[in-house]
Structure 1
Amino acid sequence: MSKKPLILVINDDGITAPGIRALIEVMNEIGDVVVVAPDSPQSGMGHAITINSTLFVEKVVIDKGNQTEYSCSGTPADCVKLAVKQILDRRPDLCVSGINHGSNSSINVIYSGTMSAALEAGIEGIPAIGFSLLDYNWNANFEHAKPFVKTIVKNALKNGIPNGVVLNVNIPNLAKKDIKGIKVCRQAKANWEEEFDKRKNPQGREYYWLTGKFVNLDNGEDTDEWALKNNYISVVPVQFDLTAHHAIQNLNTWELND
């Protein structure tokens, strides 16, 4: 039996995306790699799961390497569920998701399929990390990100990730020499100021196209947005327990049982 760690690789940009191919290459240097990824882009799917249609999984060969790969018709969260319940013959030592084409910092973590896959692994009790590069281009260059991904993964395997916690890692789109280092941060308070552009198709039917701009409302120097703006890689520990523990005492003062 192999003594290497078993690493499950997921993403949301699709199994052929350059980001996941770069991640697979790095993980092959560290452990035994199994890939279960969507057969088409699933960006912005959040934690959606498939319940009203069938799911298909196909073993595929995309490029050279020691990894075993499966293409899935479902969402990133579906991919994790199927990997754990049907495909793998032993529990992964780590799940890595990405490398996403584009930022998943701050509020973007809520919408991210990349991070939802990592969080689904966390729910299953599997240590997990989501990786994103701040470049939305399909042909983004992931070479400078690889050494940092390797460093973070090796540390996670060596030291462990706290129970109930998943790591959200965002990497600036800079040359390796220009990245100042890695900072553990909190999630910045920010949001999207969204608009819907109302249009008409050639048949005259009205439709809407989502637009908007990202607004950082947080001036703290301990946030992911500050780190990225100042040429650091951000590492934010996030959790899937959404309980607002600080609010419980206040809510217990309500006259709910009168």
Structure 2
Amino acid sequence: MATKKPLILVVNDDGITAPGIKVLLEEMQHLGEVVVVAPDGPQSGMGHAITIGKPLRLDAVDIYPKVEMYKCSGTPVDCVKLAVNKVFKGRKPDLCVSGINHGLNNSINVLYSGTMSAAVEGAIEGIPSIGFSLDDFSYDANFEYCRPYVRGIAAQVLKNDLPKHSLLNVNFPNVEKLKGIKICRQAGGRWVEEFEERVDPHQREYFWLTGKFQLEDRGEDTDVFALNNGYVSVVPTQFDMTAHHVIPELNSWSFDIPKS
């Protein structure tokens, strides 16, 4: 009796025609049956946004041979929700992979990332999920050296599964030769924003967001350290944002609520 191939959902935030998603779907074709549901245009930095104030459109497209593909007018998270509820019609995917993103999603960037939010949504749906990102924003970024790692990591997730409510955040450094994989924790850091003030042709003021990443964590077990030293960083990630270590302290407080 033939074994049914794993069903793999491929999503991203750079848009359905982005070079990174082509590499990702090609590698997933070695592992199972691939279905792509991706935004119809760039959606970087959307985080976990969903569309609630306007209709969503989902259209089948024919971009790559023998690949079932759909473009979505919404966010990366919308893509996952529509895939689960409409495209697969009750059959849950065995794996959800997002990317390969143009640009890193390490450290605090995981909160802003559309790539990672799509993977998080997959995990919320109970699907083993992985987000992949490369430290290169250019359109012609070289994803080729990522291929064996993408396939190898995805194969291990298919084989071993992941603990409930968890997913993997995988980032690739922009180097000529990778040293291997390091399992890491998320480095502490934040963006220090600046808003460049400009004036449009109608003499109306507007702002352009810029900023610099400020690393606040020099640990050698972090994703930033691994990437800076030529390793692929793999961070197990969860969407439970409870600060569990703070609960005992809060329980020691006396909440005297004023009477109205």
TM-score band, normalised by shorter chain: over 0.9
Residue in structure 1 matched with residue 74 of structure 2 by the alignment: 74
Residue in structure 2 matched with residue 248 of structure 1 by the alignment: 247
After superposition, give the CA deviation of every residue in 1:142-195 in whole Å (9 maximum; x if it has no partner): 1111111011001111111111111000011223xx210001000000111110
Give the drift of 1:257. 5.4
Residue in structure 2 matched with residue 187 of structure 1 by the alignment: 186
Q: Percent identity?
A: 62
Instruction: Answer whether contact 1:144 1:174 (CA < 8 A) is retained.
Output: no
Residue in structure 1 matched with residue 159 of structure 2 by the alignment: 158
Give 1:157's aligned amino acid.
Answer: L
Give 2:178's aligned amino acid.
Answer: I
Residue in structure 2 matched with residue 49 of structure 1 by the alignment: 50
Whole-angstrom distance in 2 between the partners of 1:58 and 1:185: 38
Whole-angstrom distance in 2 between the partners of 1:239 and 1:231: 25
Instruction: Answer whether contact 1:11 1:37 (CA < 8 A) is retained.
Output: yes
Residue in structure 2 matched with residue 24 of structure 1 by the alignment: 25
Whole-angstrom distance in 2 between the partners of 1:88 and 1:99: 22
Residue in structure 1 matched with residue 37 of structure 2 by the alignment: 36
Aligned with 2:245: secondary structure?
Answer: helix
Whole-angstrom distance in 1 between the partners of 2:31 and 2:109: 29
2:225 pairs with 1:204: no
Give 1:80's aligned amino acid.
Answer: V
Aligned with 1:7: secondary structure?
Answer: strand
Residue in structure 1 matched with residue 145 of structure 2 by the alignment: 144
Whole-angstrom distance in 2 between the partners of 1:245 and 1:145: 35
Residue in structure 2 matched with residue 88 of structure 1 by the alignment: 88
Give the drift of 1:256. 2.1
Give 2:133's aligned amino acid.
Answer: S
Instruction: Give the number of aligned pairs.
Output: 255
Give 1:152's aligned amino acid.
Answer: I
Whole-angstrom distance in 2 between the partners of 1:225 and 1:41: 25
Residue in structure 2 matched with residue 226 of structure 1 by the alignment: 225
Whole-angstrom distance in 2 between the partners of 1:143 and 1:162: 30
Counting only pairs closer than 5 Å after superposition, residues 110-121 of structure 1 correspond to structure 2 as 110-121=111-122
Aligned with 1:126: secondary structure?
Answer: coil
Aligned with 1:183: secondary structure?
Answer: strand
Give 2:74's aligned amino acid.
Answer: G
Whole-angstrom distance in 1 between the partners of 2:158 and 2:195: 44
Give 1:185's aligned amino acid.
Answer: C
Whole-angstrom distance in 2 between the partners of 1:15 and 1:151: 23
Aligned with 2:69: secondary structure?
Answer: strand
Residue in structure 1 matched with residue 5 of structure 2 by the alignment: 4
How does the TM-score come out when normalised to structure 1? Answer: 0.97
Give the drift of 1:217. 1.3
Give 2:69's aligned amino acid.
Answer: E
5+ unaligned residues in a row in structure 2: which ranges? none
Whole-angstrom distance in 2 between the partners of 1:62 and 1:120: 25
For the aligned residue pairs, the C-alpha RMSD in angstroms reads 1.1
Whole-angstrom distance in 2 between the partners of 1:159 and 1:87: 26
Residue in structure 1 matched with residue 59 of structure 2 by the alignment: 58
